Structure 1
Amino acid sequence: MSWLNRVARKIPFIAKRESPDNLWHKCPACQQMIFAKEYEANLSVCPKCEHHGRIGPDARFDQLFDNGVFTPLPIPQVREDPLKFRDSKRYTDRIKEARAKTGEQDAFLNARGTIEGFRAVVGVQDFAFMGGSMGLAVGAAFVAGVQAAIADKCPYIVFTAAGGARMQEGILSLMQMPKTTVAIAQLREAGLPYIVVMTDPTTGGVTASYAMLGDIQISEPGALIGFAGQRVIEQTIREKLPEGFQRAEYLLEHGMLDMVVKRHDLRAELARLIDYLCPGTGKKAA
């Protein structure tokens, strides 16, 4: 045995320290590594480049409602896998995987609460659940949110995030477009505002329906908003599209949005809009 091995054997063994996998967050925009707790404390906005990260319903409700207090609305029951669809996997298996990943029943959740004292019903679409795709469950949840807002006589605020209609439900997913449009008409007949906040990304049939029908159209900075993808459009019209096409700031400049609001300012801005749009029905809770 060499002297080096003899010395090495006398050195006490120290177990390798392991760090949690979620200790750091890498910003997809600037590639900076950010301490996860700092990132969450900053509302999932990069402190370096202000890239607005994608967040789910629970985080959105916590950030938006007063003191993070809210009441989730019951989730409507719909028929699952109505077409018995299967591609590389069964549709039912994909739903189970999405539920295990997110802890949610489907891609759209509603809750009621107060925003700076003003009553509101808020619906949030989660891109983490099968790309936020719009199917029977999403359409039913949207209608339930509208009905709750009418019953509460308060605004309905929707945060959109989707890749479009859910292909596994075929024509039934496309029928959610007129279904949600009719629900919005009912909300307007009741004299209540419908406010849309588009987040990254909002595309496909969602953009072609309830995402673009708001009384007020808002977006978070840098959000991708459109119907078809940029490459598909360029191949169709055979022209090069301008820089930043389909981003929130470009749409604001061309009149498709009313405002682009940073996440830190969004709560106060929504409260101001509620106070202006429905001072009678959306007044501060007693």
Structure 2
Amino acid sequence: MSWIDNVLPPKIRSFLNKRETPENLWVKDPESGEMVFYRDLEANQWVVPGSGHHMKIKANDRLAAFLDDSKYDLVPLPTVPTDPLKFRDQKRYTDRLRDMRVKTGMEDAVLVATGKLYQQPVTVAVQDFDFMAGSLGMAAGSAVITGLEKAADTKTPFILFASSGGARMQEGILSLMQMPRTTVAVLRLRDAGLPFIVVFTNPTTGGVTASYAMLGDVHIAEPGALICFAGPRVIEQTIREKLPKGFQRSEYLYEHGMVDMVVHRHNLRSTIGSLIAMFTGAASPAGLSEAPPKQPLPQVANDDDLDGSVAQAASE
């Protein structure tokens, strides 16, 4: 034992000897309970290899996995008032925004980027659920509008990856006004004759579903994604009846005609690449002639606590 161990108080000694243990070394699959090594999950685009469960993926990781050579250029987004209503509940809204920006490294819930998909120039917007549950506020609404206008100006297809708990309550009516604003921007893209492809990820709810997310030319859903306006628990409490298993999930909505297809995350590039070639009349991109490999689909998740989890994420 060295002399320093005899001189230093126990608390300081334990601090100096503390070993840094990496966090999130293993991630638990919420469906099967399987423990998956973090690096393996990251390499598999955050899809659990065994069950096929699609976990949430960060916006930057989504763009890197989707676009050619993981290369993209972020589109500058407009600045909006930070806290127009001076809102405060358990903490000030400005403090929530600051905490989210430190946690995620993003200014708000939406990133917009330009890049290429099978050599075809595209404009892509991604909502990140980690930023206040991907809620729709003035900044997020302006970002989506900027993406739509950028696509119209550059005459490129627009692809949206939607993930949201709904409108941002801290901005009140100003948040709800983003619904008609984004709708008008979608109409401008449609007038330009450019394709608008929406990919629903888990979850996509509330005002986002009630506005621009449901205005695409093609609606694709990732397996097992919750897609709705009001959540299952709210509906059950209102009608006082038990809902069918898998109600409002991707597969259920596909069977009932609300979405056009359910596509595994690994096959989104090839599927959307083929759709863009069809819409634009371009030749089918190289590498799309072969059918994509079949991927395991996840089990239907339990919806009992979903409404509460979305609300909790939005308030964090």
TM-score for both structures, normalised by structure 1: 0.91
Superposed displacement of residue 250, structure 1: 0.3
**Distance apart, 1:144 and its partner CA:** 0.4
Read off the aligned partner of 1:36 and give its amino acid letter.
Y
C-alpha distance in 1 between matches for 2:245 and 2:139: 36
Structure 2 residue aligned with 1:92: 94
Q: Which amino acid aligns with 1:184?
A: V
2:161 maps to a residue whose letter is: F
Shift of 1:137: 0.2
Aligned to 2:275: 273
Tell me the secondary structure at the aligned position of residue 266 of structure 1: helix
SS at match of 2:198: strand
What is the distance in 2 between the residues matched to 1:141 and 1:17?
42
Conserved in 2, the CA contact under 8 Å of 1:119 and 1:283? Answer: no
Identical positions, percent: 57
Q: Give the 3-state SS of the residue equivalent to 1:106 in structure 2.
A: coil
- Partner of 1:241, secondary structure, is coil
Please report how far the alpha carbon of residue 23 of structure 1 lies from its aligned counterpart in structure 2 after TM superposition. 1.8
| Deviation by residue 1:35-84 (Cα, 9 ceiling, x = unmatched) | 11111111110011000010111000100010000000002111111111
Q: Which runs of 4+ in 1 moved over 6 A?
A: none
Alpha-carbon shift at residue 33 of structure 1 (Å): 0.8
Question: Distance between the aligned counterparts of 2:166 and 2:264, measured in 1?
Answer: 24
| Counterparts of 1:95 and 1:21, CA distance in 2 | 24
Q: Distance in 2 between matches of 1:34 and 1:163?
A: 27
Specify which of 201, 224, 227 is matched with residue 226 of structure 2.
224
Gaps of 5+ in 1: 1-14
Mark the CA change 1:16 to 1:137 in structure 2 (over 3 Å): closer, same or farther: closer
For residues 34 and 191 of structure 2, the distance between their equivalents in structure 1, rounded to whole angstroms, comes to 48
| Aligned counterparts, 1:201-240, within 5 A | 201-240=203-242
The one-letter code of the counterpart of 1:68 is: S
TM-score, length basis structure 2 = 0.83
Instruction: Give the greater-gyration-radius structure (CA).
Output: 1
Answer whether contact 2:118 2:285 (CA < 8 A) is retained. Answer: no
| Gap regions ≥5 residues in structure 2 | 1-16, 287-316
Residue number among 247, 250, 260 corresponding to 2:249 in the alignment: 247
Are 1:109 and 1:124, in contact at CA under 8 Å, matched by a contact in 2?
Answer: yes
User: Which of the residues 13, 24, 27 maps onto 1:25?
Assistant: 27
- For the pair 1:158 / 2:163, whether they are aligned, the reply is no
What value does the CA root-mean-square deviation take over the aligned residues?
A: 1.7
In 2: Cα distance, 1:219 partner to 1:131 partner = 18
Quick check: 1:57–1:109 contact (8 Å CA) kept in 2? yes
